[in-house]
């Protein structure tokens, strides 16, 4: 067995050294009735690398990989081109096979990139501090809701209906058990075209509101000016939590911090990580500095060593479970370290100029796509101010349209019904994302597939 170095001679010598006649002597504490006599029956025995590669290769081949098809899915996971050097670097064994940096003298590599990552995230979001990452965007949002409740000592949170429904459901799951009140997206709001109108949210603000949660750009791709909402929140002593599921957008649109956000969380898979069928992804978490002691997760900080040289350590760990146990700010331990490295490398490769250009390219592709689709009879554009994703209303149920297009080899978007199956009003809504990976011929293919699906004559664009 290729991963096990002990030989039979080694095992004999070591058993003798520990005073055991057989290996079973080392399992004496296991009650006899719980000891298995041999390998679990019915399961396969060990296999060589070639056999495993064949078996898993067959499974991989049964999936439609995004890169092999015209691809327009977003809704919380975006396909961007990741430079080759990113994946090469994160596979350096010293990064890949290291642990949480509990021994900082031999983990400065991890700690320095975490410090750089924290700074990049804070600047991108327009915030003062960021942590060393969470599991993903959805769990980061739930943690932000709890953090706001600790900060304000209030227990009611208002979540906009423009927030990704999976994120909302994840928060609802926990809030149901913790007894916190979560006032969430009212579906009737969603049936209208997205607007900047936050009156419904503001109307619910009260002296018991800990925070308002909005997504930016929202699930329909709409980009709103959040400054008036931030003002309304602050006037009532509530915090504004902003969720960003597409960080590339921030190369082109204002940072949430600039508009008054108090906590900004997000999903970082767009940069460096890839689609990954939903995981591992990368939770981003940033806040105002005055709230830092209420933040969840690991924080990396700068210090000096005994010789006076600059170095980095994990810090403020008295917030965390391994010190505070049941009084910790969160139970989180493992984060998304390697994904934060991929994100940070990709962002370093881009630099500010590169990120701005990438964002502009995304926006141009999305505008091209939207114009093309809007010209098709039976398609109505719902989002007028968007970054790289928008919603359209079709003359037919969107879910079937997505399946029909897939049959034609086009991955044409995400139906709103996949996200809100219980909302008939959203049945004909399709979410379409177009990044820099979309070519003009892909837009042609999408338009053709959609026309065929709608059964209409192509009107030309």
Partner 1 sequence: MSMAKEGRPTAPRQPEAAPAEGDRTLTGNRGLMLEEPLIFESGAPDRTGVDLEAVPAHGFRLTGVERTAPIGLPGLSEGETVRHYTRLSRQNYGIDLGLFPLGSCTMKHNPRLNEKLARLPGFADIHPLQPQDTVQGALELIHVLAEWLIELTGMHGVAMAPKAGAHGELCGMLAIRAAHEARGDARRVVLVPESAHGTNPATAAFCGYAVENIPADARGRVDLAALEARLGPDVAAVMITNPNTCGLFEPDMRRISDAVHAAGAYVYCDGANFNAIVGRVRPGDLGVDAMHINLHKTFSTPHGGGGPGSGPVVLSEALSPFGPLPFVVRHADGRFHLVEEETAASEGHDRAFGRMAAFHGQMGMFVRALAYIMSHGADGLRQVAEDAVLNANYVLRSLEDVMTAPFAHAGPCMHEALFDDGFLEGTGVTTLDIAKALIDEGFHPMTMYFPLVVHGAMLVEPTETESKARLDQFIAVMRDLAVRAKAGEAQSFRSAPRFAPRARLDETRAARQPVLTWRPPADDRLAAE
- Please state the closest distance from residue 372 (CB atom) to partner 1, in A: 11
Gyration radius (Cα) of the chain, Å: 25
Q: Which is nearer to partner 1, 14 or 459 (CB)?
A: 14
Give the pair of three-digit tokens for residue 11. 């095992």
Q: How far apart are CA 268 and CA 271, in angstroms?
A: 6
Site for partner 1 in 184-213 (CB under 8 A): none
The nearest distance, CB 295 to partner 1, in angstroms, is 10
Footprint (CB under 8 A) of partner 1, residues 111-170? 112-113, 115-116, 118-120, 122-124, 128-130, 132-133, 135-139, 164, 166-167, 169-170
For position 374 contacting partner 1 by CB under 8 A, the verdict is no
Burial label, 167 (beta-carbon count in 10 A; 0-12, 13-18, 19+): buried
Tallying the residues shown for the chain, one arrives at: 461
- By CB under 8 A, name the one of 148, 205, 284, 361 that touches partner 1: 361
Tell the residue number behind the tokens 């942590």, with chain if given. Answer: 131
DSSP annotation of 222 reads B
According to DSSP, residue 40 is labeled: P
* Residue 248 Cβ vs partner 1, minimum distance, rounded to whole Å: 12
Q: Of the candidates 419, 235, 255, which has an alpha carbon nearest to the alpha carbon of residue 352? A: 255
At closest approach, how far in Å is the CB of 298 from partner 1?
A: 7
183 binds partner 1 (CB under 8 A): no
Identified binder of partner 1 from the candidate list 204, 235, 351, 444, rule CB under 8 A: 351
d(CA 74, CA 79): 8
Helix 165-178 × helix 137-152 angle, to 10°: 40
CB of 151 vs partner 1, minimal distance in Å: 17
- Its sign, for the CA torsion 20, 22, 26, 31, is negative
- In the set 21, 60, 207, 455, which binds partner 1 (CB under 8 A)? 60
SS3 197: coil
Nearer to partner 1, 234 or 322 (CB): 322
Return d(Cα 84, Cα 77) in angstroms, integer. Answer: 20
Q: How far is the CB of 237 from partner 1 (least distance, A)?
A: 25
Q: Which residue in 4, 21, 153, 441 binds partner 1 (CB under 8 A)?
A: 4
Return all residues near 140 (Cβ < 8 A) that are at least 6 apart. 134, 265, 266, 267, 283, 284, 285
Cβ 87 to partner 1 shortest distance, Å: 7
Minimum distance of partner 1 from residue 120's CB (angstroms): 6
Q: How far apart are CA 177 and CA 45, in angstroms?
A: 42
Gap between the Cα atoms of 340 and 272, Å rounded: 9
Cis peptide upstream of residue 217 (ω within 30 degrees of 0) = yes
* CB of residue 320 to partner 1, shortest distance in Å: 8
Q: Does the protein bind partner 1 through residue 49 (CB under 8 A)?
A: yes
10 touching partner 1, by CB under 8 A: yes
Q: Which residues pair with 284 in a beta bridge?
A: 266
Q: Pick the stretch among 187-195, 230-238, 336-344, 446-454 that binds partner 1 (CB under 8 A).
A: 336-344
How far apart are the C-alpha atoms of 284 and 36, rounded to whole Å? 44
28 or 203: whose CB is closer to partner 1?
Answer: 28
Question: Please, which of residues 248-307 interact with partner 1 by CB under 8 A?
Answer: 250-255, 258, 267, 274-281, 289, 292, 298-307
**Shortest distance in whole angstroms from residue 193 CB to partner 1:** 14
Site string for partner 1, 78-97 (x = CB under 8 A): -x---x-x-xxxxxxxxxxx
Site string for partner 1, 423-442 (x = CB under 8 A): -------------x------
Q: Which is nearer to partner 1, 175 or 212 (CB)?
A: 175
- Site size toward partner 1 (CB under 8 A) is 213
DSSP state of 286: E
Identify the sign of the CA torsion 368, 374, 379, 383.
positive
CA triple 249-366-387, angle to 5 deg: 25
* Tokens 């965390």 belong to residue: 320
List the interface residues with partner 1, window 384-423 (CB under 8 A): 384-387, 402-403, 406, 411, 414, 418-419, 421-422
Q: How far is the CB of 328 from partner 1 (least distance, A)?
A: 4
8 is an interface residue for partner 1 by CB under 8 A: no
Question: What phi and psi, each to the nearest 5 degrees, are found at residue 213?
Answer: -115, 125
Of 16 and 188, which CB lies nearer to partner 1 in the complex structure? 16
Q: Within positions 315 to 334, which residues make up the interface with partner 1, using CB under 8 A? A: 315-318, 320-328, 330-334
Regarding 21 and contact with partner 1 (CB under 8 A), the answer is no
**Does 174 contact partner 1 by CB under 8 A?**
yes
Measured from the CB atom, the residue of 220 and 312 that comes closer to partner 1 is 312
- The 3-class SS string of 393-404 reads EECCCHHHHHHH
Instruction: Count Cα atoms within 13 angstroms, Cβ side, for 37.
Output: 1
């Amino acid at each position: 067995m290729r991963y096990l170095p002990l030989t039979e001679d080694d095992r004999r010598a070591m058993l003798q050294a520990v005073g055991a006649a057989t290996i079973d002597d080392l399992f004496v504490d296991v009650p006899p009735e719980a000891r298995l006599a041999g390998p679990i029956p019915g399961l396969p025995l060990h296999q060589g690398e070639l056999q495993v590669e064949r078996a898993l290769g067959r499974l991989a081949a049964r999936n439609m990989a995004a890169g092999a098809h015209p691809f327009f899915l977003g809704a919380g996971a975006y396909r961007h081109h990741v430079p080759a050097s990113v994946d090469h670097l994160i596979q350096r064994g010293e990064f890949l096979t290291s642990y949480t940096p509990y021994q900082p003298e031999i983990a400065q590599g991890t700690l320095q990139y975490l410090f750089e990552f924290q700074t990049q995230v804070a600047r991108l979001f327009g915030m003062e501090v960021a942590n060393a990452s969470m599991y993903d965007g959805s769990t980061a949002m739930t943690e932000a809701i709890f953090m706001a409740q600790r900060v304000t000592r209030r227990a009611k949170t208002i979540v906009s209906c423009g927030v990704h429904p999976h994120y909302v459901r994840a928060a609802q799951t926990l809030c149901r058990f913790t007894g916190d009140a979560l006032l969430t997206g009212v579906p009737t709001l969603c049936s209208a075209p997205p607007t900047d109108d936050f009156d419904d949210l503001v109307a619910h603000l009260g002296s018991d509101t800990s925070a308002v949660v909005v997504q930016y750009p929202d699930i329909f791709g709409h980009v709103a000016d959040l400054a008036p909402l931030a003002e309304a929140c602050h006037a009532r002593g509530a915090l504004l939590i902003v969720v960003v599921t597409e960080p590339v957008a921030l190369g082109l649109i204002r940072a949430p911090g600039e508009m008054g956000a108090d906590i900004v969380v997000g999903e970082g898979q767009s940069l460096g990580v890839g689609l990954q069928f939903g995981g591992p992804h990368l939770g981003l978490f940033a806040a105002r500095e005055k709230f830092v002691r209420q933040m969840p997760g690991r924080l990396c900080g700068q210090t000096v060593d005994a010789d006076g040289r600059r170095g980095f350590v994990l810090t403020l760990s008295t917030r965390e479970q391994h010190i505070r146990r049941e009084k910790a700010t969160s139970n989180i331990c493992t984060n998304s370290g390697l994904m934060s490295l991929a994100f940070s490398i990709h962002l370093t490769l881009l630099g500010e100029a590169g990120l701005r250009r990438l964002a502009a390219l995304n926006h141009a592709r999305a505008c091209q796509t939207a114009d093309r689709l809007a010209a098709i009879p039976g398609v109505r554009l719902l989002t007028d101010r968007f970054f790289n994703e928008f919603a359209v209303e079709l003359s037919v149920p969107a879910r079937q349209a997505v399946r029909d297009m897939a049959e034609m080899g086009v991955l044409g978007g995400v139906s709103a019904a996949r996200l809100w199956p219980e909302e008939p009003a959203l049945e004909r809504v399709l979410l379409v994302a177009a990044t820099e990976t979309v070519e003009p011929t892909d837009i042609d293919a999408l338009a053709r597939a959609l026309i065929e699906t709608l059964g209409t004559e192509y009107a030309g664009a």
